[in-house]
Every structure is written in C-alpha cells, then in structure tokens.
Chain A
Amino acid sequence: MPEMTKPRPKHLALHQIRLPLAGYASILHRVSGAGLFLMLPLLVWLLQLSLSPSQESAALFSAVMGNLLVKLILLGLLWAFLHHFCMGIRILLIDVHVGVEKQQAHNSAMAVMIISLALTLVFGLKLLGA
C-alpha cells in the first residue's frame, strides 16, 4: 500500500497504540508521581504517628499499619516510589547524555522496571511481614 493512502488515525485510539518499553516506563513515572502526590497526607500522618511520644499514637500507629487496606496502599506506594526513584535517576543520566543510544535506553528502561519490582518485593515482604 502506498504511504499516502495508508489510513491514518483521526483520533488517538489508545488500545491500538504500541509503545516501546521506555514509553511505558515513562508513563509509569508520571503515574507513580501522581500517586505519591495524592497519598502524601497518609504518609505525613504515618510519619507523625511514628514520631509522636504519646502511647495512644504508638497504639494507633500499630493498628493502622496492621490494617490490610493500608498495607496494600503502602505496597503500591512503595512500588511507586521505587519506580519513580529509579526512573528519575535514568532521566537525570539521560539529561547528562549518559545512555542516550536506542539500545542503551531500552536496556535501562528494562533495568528500571525489573529493579523497582524486585526491590518492591524485598521491602514489601518486610513491610507486610513485620
């Protein structure tokens, strides 16, 4: 089919778009940043409870941390932070022209995905177990 008659998408058909891995890693960087922002009040509250000298706060902290829903949210935020952190470092390196080549960029995006998931597993087990 000649190039000019090729049907072009008139709108963004999201389910038809295929991104390279780095594209997905990049979207997840945005999603993770937004998720962390939305959950900041929970995190500050937990910081407060963890540092308050009162007995009630200590008990409340343990109760909240023992809640299954809170654990799931924290697990999600753990992944979000780790992905955002690793991806952030990748972006900063690319800013200073480290790893700009296509193959390198693909490999580093893969590394970000794998490392952040692996670390989520390691820290997550500690979080859920402890």
Chain B
Amino acid sequence: MNRLVVGAHYGLMDWLAQRVTAIVMAVYTLIIFAAALGGATASREAWHSFMANGFIRYISFLFIVSLCYHAWVGVRDIWMDYLNSAALRVILHVLTLLALIGYAGWAVQIIWRL
C-alpha cells in the first residue's frame, strides 16, 4: 500500500506516545505504591516530605505531563469515534485540550511549590 493519508504521520506518533506515556505512568504508580508500603503515606508530614524530595518531584512532573498527553490522545480518540459533527468535534477537542493544559499547570504548581 502506497498511500499517504496525512503528511505528518501523526497517527503513528500518537500511538507511540500513548504507549510511552502509559509506561511512564505505570512505573510511577509502582514507585508510589512501594513508597506507600514503606510508610510515605503514614502521616501528612511523611507524605509531604516524600513528595518534596527532588527526585520524586522530577518524576511527578514527568507523570503529570505523561498523564495529560495520554489523556489528550485517548479522549480525542473517543470524541472521534462517537461524534459525527465536525463542528462539535472541534469544540470538544479544544475544550479537552484546554482543560488538560490547565490541570497540568495546576498539578505541576502543587508539586513545584513543595
């Protein structure tokens, strides 16, 4: 097959991005789970000092960015599957994107202030 559907191959990139972000989130989840077993969630103070650690802040940042990118690709796929009206689709894509960018800023700001 010798057909170029889009110039940027964005379908493949998004597919790959969703896999990479999924792996980042899965690893982060296991790290947080292990930390919780080790007592990081035992008290407010323990939780705060755990999350304030430089390395944890670094991977929390990666997690937040991964989550928002992953959710963007995933939710956009859902809109594309169920919405037939191009206008409605564009509106919801934009709203989804704006919401996720806002959440990312909000969550990063929580982590980065610690």
A residues near B (Cβ < 8 Å) are: 30, 33-34, 36-37, 40-41, 44, 47-48, 50-51, 53, 58, 85, 88-89, 92, 95
Can you spell out 12 A-B residue pairs with CB atoms less than 8 angstroms apart?
A30-B78, A37-B75, A40-B71, A40-B103, A44-B103, A44-B107, A44-B110, A48-B106, A48-B110, A58-B44, A88-B22, A89-B26
With beta carbons under 8 angstroms apart, the residue of B19, B22, B47, B106 that contacts A50 is B47
A51→B22 contact, CB < 8 A = no
B19→A92 contact, CB < 8 A = yes
Q: Which residues of A contact B48 (CB under 8 A)?
A: 51, 53
Bound complex: CA A59 to CA B80 (Å): 42
How many residue pairs bridge A and B at CB < 8 Å?
41
13 new A-B contacts at CB < 8 Å, known A50-B47, A92-B22: A30-B78, A33-B71, A33-B75, A34-B78, A40-B99, A44-B103, A44-B110, A48-B110, A51-B114, A58-B44, A85-B26, A88-B22, A92-B19
With beta carbons under 8 angstroms apart, the residue of A34, A44, A51 that contacts B51 is A51
B residues near A (Cβ < 8 Å) are: 19, 22-23, 26, 29, 44, 47-48, 51, 71, 74-75, 78, 99, 103, 106-107, 110, 114
Q: Which residues of A contact B51 (CB under 8 A)?
A: 51
B71→A37 contact, CB < 8 A = yes
Bound complex: CA A37 to CA B95 (Å): 13
B103→A41 contact, CB < 8 A = yes
Q: Which residues of B contact A89 (CB under 8 A)?
A: 26
B67 (CB) vs chain A CBs: closest residue: A40
Nearest Cβ on chain B to A47's Cβ, whole angstroms: 6
